């Protein structure tokens, strides 16, 4: 008789709920606490008209989800992507809560998204979409309530426009409403590199435990946006050998190691696929390369039950949010692959966002060295406490990271008398 294979659930909202259940069961969290944590406190769906360059008017749709504000105001990026859905944004806001919890930042999780392809918009249209979305969510965001930031396909310039729109609406300069801004309007030194830098700190901690040296370590990176591209640069500077990278158009492989400045130049002028002498590979093939470290730095659900078995990396550092499904996690665990989970590996971005917000509130700005040192301390401490807890409970790093977070949020909910 033919065995029917159950189709894997790839809905990120249901995936994060599953991850919560796993960690909550180990902690024996009371069911009412789990029920609160399994859904966002507030989700706003908006639509707003934008005048296009050709004179037409297009209506854009977007969302802002605020998961849990027991610990502090909600915090998290805004993505511009054609595949944005409400469930995705809800899940991403929940991952933000747990991410902030892992590092111990005084924030809950939030996330926003606009359904659009920024590559098809002119600079003027992009500005009007950015301002239109901020206007549409202005009632529920603010320096003390919910603080957005960049995410997939959004930039410091977009944060600058959004900050300007919010400040005009409120009649007061409000840099603390959003982070990841250009330096000229209250951005923090080191914020642009922070996600990648934080990810590198977690990789170095993981390697330390195994005694392996960077110079003997190969890396493949999927995604060449803010996180992937800067991680490639920082890892190269540390002596790692980056053998493969990709972007949404495909990837390149070069066993002797890619020249990362050259890749960057091609990314800016033509396409990374023009790299001379490299083998063209697909995004799927990149995930299955025989490398030491695999860094998924693009979107969700790229490592699933369908391909996890073919992953040959020893470590996976999740610079993206939600790249690995729970079924894939189980397969990787079985194979002995160590996954540094998203809520730990990519927490550097929101950590320096927190520093930016603190600087905005104080109107007092720090040097890049100060920011990077504080980031390093935060990431190393976070990694160490997750690794310790995972070891104690004999669970993977993801479950350990969830456990730390869930306990922090539960404690805050208790202290506020919610439970
Ligand atoms: N979008 C980033 C993330 O997923 C940064 C969020 C922030 O800085 O608030 O962590």
Per-residue HEC secondary structure of the chain comes to CCCCCCCCCCCHHHHHHHHHHHHHHHHCCCHHHHHHHCCCCEEEEEEEEEECCCCCEEEEEEEEEECCCCCCCEECCEEEECCCCHHHHHHHHHHHHHHHHHHCCCCEEEEEEEECCHHHCCHHHHHHHHHHHHHHHCCCCECCCEECCECCCCCHHHHHHHHHHHHHHHCCCCHHHCCCCCHHHCCCCCHHHHHHHHHHHHHHHHHHHHCCCHHHCEEEEECCCHHHHHHHHHHHHCCCEEEEEEECCEEEECCCCCCHHHHHHHHHHCCHHHCCCCEEECHHHHHCCCCCEEEECCCCCCECCCCHHHCCCCEEECCCCCCECHHHHHHHHHHCCEEECHHHHCCHHHHHHHHHHHHHHHCCCCCHHHHHHHHHHHHHHHHHHHHHHHHHHCCCHHHHHHHHHHHHHHHHHHHCCCC
Q: 168 and 284 in one domain?
A: no
pLDDT at position 7: 83
Q: 79 and 170 in one domain?
A: yes
Last residue of a domain, one of 297, 323, 340: 340
Q: What is the C-alpha separation between 143 and 15, in angstroms, rounded? A: 30
Q: How far is the CA of 400 from the centre of ligand 1 (A)?
A: 21
Q: 238 and 167 in one domain?
A: no
- To test ligand 1's pocket by mutation, which of 12, 67, 76 has the most ligand atoms within 8 angstroms of CB? 76
Q: What is the C-alpha separation between 144 and 164, in angstroms, rounded? A: 17
Q: Is 93 annotated as a binding residue?
A: no
Q: How far is the CA of 175 from the centre of ligand 1 (A)?
A: 17
With cut-offs at 50, 70 and 90, classify the pLDDT of residue 209: confident
CATH label of the domain that carries residue 218: 3.40.50.720
**What domain range includes position 245?**
194-340
**Is 416 part of a structural domain of the chain?**
no
Question: Between these two residues, 82 and 211, which has the higher pLDDT value?
Answer: 82
Q: 273 and 162 in one domain?
A: no
Q: 235 and 101 in one domain?
A: no
Pocket of ligand 1 (CB under 6 A): 75-77, 99, 149, 151, 179-180, 321, 346, 349-350, 353
Q: 166 and 222 in one domain?
A: no
pLDDT at position 5: 56
Q: What is the C-alpha separation between 231 and 222, in angstroms, rounded? A: 11
pLDDT mean over 359-374:
98
With cut-offs at 50, 70 and 90, classify the pLDDT of residue 2: very low
CATH label of the domain that carries residue 152: 3.40.50.10860
pLDDT mean over 45-61:
98
**Is 104 part of a structural domain of the chain?**
yes
Give whole-number Cα distances, 169 to 135, 142, 163, 166, in Å. 8, 11, 10, 5
**Is 78 part of a structural domain of the chain?**
yes
pTM of the model: 0.97
Measured by CA distance, the residue closest to atom 9 of ligand 1 is 76
Q: 314 and 198 in one domain?
A: yes
Measured by CA distance, the residue closest to atom 8 of ligand 1 is 350
Q: How far is the CA of 254 from the centre of ligand 1 (A)?
A: 31
Q: Is the dihedral of CA 126, 131, 135, 140 positive or negative?
A: positive
Q: 210 and 121 in one domain?
A: no
**Is 219 part of a structural domain of the chain?**
yes
**Is 362 part of a structural domain of the chain?**
no
Q: 146 and 58 in one domain?
A: yes
Q: 201 and 301 in one domain?
A: yes
Q: Which of 79-83, 209-213, 392-396 has the lowest mean pLDDT?
A: 209-213
Q: How far is the CA of 350 from the centre of ligand 1 (A)?
A: 5
Work out the mean pLDDT of the chain and round it to a whole number: 97
Please check the confidence at residue 38 and state whether its pLDDT lies above 90.
Answer: yes
Query: Is the separation of the CB atoms in 184 and 161 below 8 Å?
Result: no
Q: Which pLDDT tens digit goes with each residue over 120-153?
A: 999 999 999 999 999 999 999 999 999 999 999 9
**Is 351 part of a structural domain of the chain?**
no
Using the atom order of ligand 1, give the atom closest to the CA of residue 151: 1
User: Quick one: angle between helices 368-393 and 191-210, nearest 10?
Assistant: 40
Q: Which of 90, 111, 189, 410 is catalytic?
A: 111
pLDDT mean over 80-94:
98
Active site residue 111: yes
Percent of the chain scored above 90 by pLDDT? 98
pLDDT mean over 99-117:
98
Paired tokens of 289? 């390369």
Q: 297 and 208 in one domain?
A: yes
Q: 203 and 334 in one domain?
A: yes
Number of structural domains in the chain: 2
Last residue of a domain, one of 289, 318, 340: 340
Query: Is the separation of the CB atoms in 288 and 312 below 8 Å?
Result: yes
pLDDT at position 3: 46
With cut-offs at 50, 70 and 90, classify the pLDDT of residue 59: very high
Last residue of a domain, one of 310, 340, 370: 340
Please check the confidence at residue 305 and state whether its pLDDT lies above 80.
Answer: yes
**Is 246 part of a structural domain of the chain?**
yes
**Is 63 part of a structural domain of the chain?**
yes
């Amino acid at each position: 008789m033919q065995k029917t294979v159950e189709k894997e659930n790839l809905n990120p909202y249901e995936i994060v709920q599953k991850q919560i259940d796993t960690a909550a069961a180990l902690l024996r969290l009371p069911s009412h606490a789990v029920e609160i944590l399994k859904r966002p406190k507030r989700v706003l769906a908006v639509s707003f008209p934008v005048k296009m360059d050709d004179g037409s008017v297009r209506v854009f749709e977007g969302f802002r989800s605020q998961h849990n504000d027991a610990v502090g105001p909600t915090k998290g990026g805004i993505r511009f992507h054609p595949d944005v859905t409400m469930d995705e944004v809800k899940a991403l806001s929940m991952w933000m809560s747990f991410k902030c919890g892992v590092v111990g930042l005084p924030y809950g999780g939030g996330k926003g998204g606009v359904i659009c392809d920024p590559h098809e918009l002119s600079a003027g249209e992009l500005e009007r979409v950015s301002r239109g979305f901020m206007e549409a969510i202005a009632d529920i965001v603010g320096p003390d309530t919910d603080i957005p930031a960049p995410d997939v396909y959004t930039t410091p310039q977009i944060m600058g426009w959004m900050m300007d729109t919010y400040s005009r609406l409120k009649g007061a300069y409000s840099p603390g409403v959003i982070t990841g801004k250009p330096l000229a309007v209250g951005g923090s030194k080191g914020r642009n590199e922070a996600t990648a830098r934080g990810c590198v700190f977690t990789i170095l901690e993981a390697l330390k435990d195994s005694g392996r040296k960077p110079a003997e370590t190969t890396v493949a990176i999927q995604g060449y946006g803010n996180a992937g591209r800067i991680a490639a640069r920082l890892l190269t500077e540390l002596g790692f050998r980056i053998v493969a990278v990709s972007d949404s158009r495909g990837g390149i492989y070069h066993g002797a190691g890619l020249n990362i400045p050259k890749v960057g130049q091609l990314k800016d002028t033509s396409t990374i696929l023009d790299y001379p002498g490299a083998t063209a590979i697909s995004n799927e093939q990149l995930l299955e390369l025989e490398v030491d470290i695999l860094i998924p730095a693009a979107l969700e659900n790229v490592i699933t039950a369908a391909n996890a078995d073919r992953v040959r990396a020893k470590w996976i550092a999740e610079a993206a949010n939600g790249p690995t499904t729970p079924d894939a996690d189980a397969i990787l665990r079985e194979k002995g692959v160590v996954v540094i989970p998203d809520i730990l590996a990519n927490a550097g971005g929101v950590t320096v966002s927190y520093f930016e917000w603190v600087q905005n509130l104080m109107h007092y700005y720090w040097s890049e060295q100060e920011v990077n040192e504080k980031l390093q301390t935060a990431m190393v401490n976070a990694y160490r406490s997750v690794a310790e807890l995972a070891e104690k409970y004999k669970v993977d790093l993801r479950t350990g990271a969830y456990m730390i977070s869930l306990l922090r949020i539960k404690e805050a909910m208790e202290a506020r008398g919610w439970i």
